Structure 1
């Protein structure tokens, strides 16, 4: 049976996580998260002008020993999936290879979100242990890549990233994704610079590299609201994706993020919530060098910080923390990919959930 990797609601019904899902639905505290987003470091080797985490970069990292201990604590808590992400570039931390081994050998699914510049240095572990690796490329040519994803010296490392992806494609056991964030900006001279015209070129390149999927996403502002774009730009993206559909097969998929779907429906930049507690916060959490937060949307927000993973072990921190400190109706008016999951948890609590039971297929809730 084929499952949509972005159907987060159906994933709630998988048997392995169901006991904790029921706890979260009822409003009870869980014994631990099912999914952890982990930022090993806040360092990044690129200097992307549109980086949503730009203000949080280069402000610390876990020591290699603490990072390894965190991996062991994650295993002990029965976490089912970990996403190595950032913040910074997760593969820039020399301890990440060990984390991949510890988690992978414990049977925990591992996803990696990376800029791709350091895949080669981490290739054996990524190929063996990563359930998926998603590379943020956001371009189809070196020139456009250099405008939106320059390194610290202003250079384009596009060719290096593509070559690294080819290396991983040849050896991987998990999935490899090519991520394309549709971006535009106005330069100081008034010119509009955009990457939207390269969606088709990028999709063709992803297919040629040997990627398993090509994902198109809309841009967020600093407060995680979806940046609205002119309808003609969105129409251009859709025309290119329609043409790219000829590339699809059992081995290559085009994936639309919920942000792009929101743009098409003209839902606006706000996503209102009627509930005052995020039940998903009992199932997912974010661990960074600056603190543990209820979710990645609140990375760096002191009002959503539930503890310090540098000084406290994770099981104790989880037991003592209050994951209800964020009120979605007040604090989360941006687009949240798990809004539908929260609504489904409310239905489960009322006994009106309507998705049939499924086998375990994807622990990344």
Structure 2
């Protein structure tokens, strides 16, 4: 049976997580999260002008020893999946390889979101232990890559990233994804630069590399609201994706994020929410060097900080913290990928949800 990797609602019904799902649905505190986003570091080797975490970069990292201890604590808490992400570039931390080994040997599912520049140095562990690696490329040519994802000296490292992806494609056990964020930027001289015209070329390159999927996404602003784009730009993207559909097979998928779907449906930047507590916050959390936060959308927000993983162990933080400090009706008016999951958890609590599935297929809720 094939499942949509972005169908987050269906993932709630997997049997191994069901007891904690029922706790979260009831509004009760869970004993531990099922999924953790982990930022090993805030440092990054690129200088992307549109980086949504730009204000939070280069402000600290876990020591390798603390990072390894965190991995052991995640195992002890029976967390099912960990996403190494940022913030900064997770593969830039020299302790990330050990984290991959600790989590992988313990049987946890591991996702990695990376810019791809340091895949080579981490190749053995990524190939062996990662359930999936998603590379943020956002271009189909070296020139466009240099405009949107320059390194700190303003250079394009496109060829290096693509070469690294080819290395991983040849050795990986998990999935490899090519991520394309549709972007436009107005320059000081009034001209507009965009990458949208390279969607087809990038999809063809992803297929040639040996990626398992190609994902297109819409931009967020600094407050996580979806940036609205002209109709003709979206039409261009859709025409290219339609042409790229000839590449699809059992081994290669085109994946649409919920952000792009929202644009197609003319959904505005505000996503109202009627509930005042995020039930998903009992199932997922974000751990960074600057603190533990209710979720990744609130990375760096002091009002959503529930602990300090530099000084305290995760079990204590989880036991003592209140994940209800964020009120979605007030604090989360942006597009949230887990809004539908929250609505489904309400259904489960009301007894109108679905019966649990008979087997697990993807722990990344």
TM-score (normalizing by structure 1)? 1.00
1:150 and 2:150 are equivalent in the alignment: yes
Q: Indicate conservation of the 8 Å contact 1:104/1:130, yes or no.
A: yes
1:17-56 equivalent positions in 2, closer than 5 A: 17-56=17-56
Residues of 2 paired with 1:91 and 1:355: CA distance?
39
1:95 is matched with 95
Residues of 2 paired with 1:326 and 1:334: CA distance?
13
- For each residue in 1:90-148, what CA deviation from the matched residue of structure 2 results, as whole angstroms up to 9, or x when unmatched? 00000000000000000000000000000000000000000000000000000000000
Residues of 2 paired with 1:326 and 1:364: CA distance?
22
Residues of 1 paired with 2:244 and 2:356: CA distance?
33
2:179 is matched with 179
2:325 is matched with 325
2:254 is matched with 254
- For each residue in 1:135-167, what CA deviation from the matched residue of structure 2 results, as whole angstroms up to 9, or x when unmatched? 000000000000000000000000000000000
1:193 is matched with 193
1:305 is matched with 305
- In the TM superposition, residue 354 of structure 1 has moved relative to its aligned partner by 3.4
1:348 is matched with 348
**Deviating 4+ runs (over 6 angstroms):** none
- In the TM superposition, residue 66 of structure 1 has moved relative to its aligned partner by 0.2
Q: Indicate conservation of the 8 Å contact 1:293/1:304, yes or no.
A: yes
- For each residue in 1:21-46, what CA deviation from the matched residue of structure 2 results, as whole angstroms up to 9, or x when unmatched? 00000001001000000000000000
- In the TM superposition, residue 357 of structure 1 has moved relative to its aligned partner by 2.4
Q: Indicate conservation of the 8 Å contact 2:13/2:354, yes or no.
A: no
- For each residue in 1:75-104, what CA deviation from the matched residue of structure 2 results, as whole angstroms up to 9, or x when unmatched? 000000000000000000000000000000
SS at match of 1:324: helix
1:135 is matched with 135
- In the TM superposition, residue 272 of structure 1 has moved relative to its aligned partner by 0.4
Q: Are residues 322 and 334 of structure 1, via their aligned partners in 2, closer, same or farther at CA, if it must alter by over 3 Å?
A: same
User: What number of residue pairs does the alignment pair up?
Assistant: 365
SS at match of 2:316: helix
Q: Are residues 355 and 196 of structure 1, via their aligned partners in 2, closer, same or farther at CA, if it must alter by over 3 Å?
A: farther
2:230 is matched with 230
2:362 is matched with 362
SS at match of 2:9: helix
Q: Indicate conservation of the 8 Å contact 1:10/1:355, yes or no.
A: no
1:124 and 2:114 are equivalent in the alignment: no
Q: Indicate conservation of the 8 Å contact 2:18/2:356, yes or no.
A: no
2:244 is matched with 244
1:285-304 equivalent positions in 2, closer than 5 A: 285-304=285-304
- In the TM superposition, residue 358 of structure 1 has moved relative to its aligned partner by 4.5
Residues of 2 paired with 1:100 and 1:26: CA distance?
33
- For each residue in 1:203-227, what CA deviation from the matched residue of structure 2 results, as whole angstroms up to 9, or x when unmatched? 0000000000000000000000000
- In the TM superposition, residue 359 of structure 1 has moved relative to its aligned partner by 1.7
SS at match of 1:68: helix
Q: Indicate conservation of the 8 Å contact 1:289/1:309, yes or no.
A: yes
Residues of 1 paired with 2:215 and 2:32: CA distance?
30
Report the RMSD for the aligned CA atoms in angstroms. 0.6
- In the TM superposition, residue 236 of structure 1 has moved relative to its aligned partner by 0.1
Q: What runs of 5+ residues in structure 2 fail to find an aligned partner?
A: none
- For each residue in 1:326-356, what CA deviation from the matched residue of structure 2 results, as whole angstroms up to 9, or x when unmatched? 0000000000000000000000000011366
Residues of 2 paired with 1:183 and 1:353: CA distance?
38
Q: Are residues 355 and 152 of structure 1, via their aligned partners in 2, closer, same or farther at CA, if it must alter by over 3 Å?
A: farther
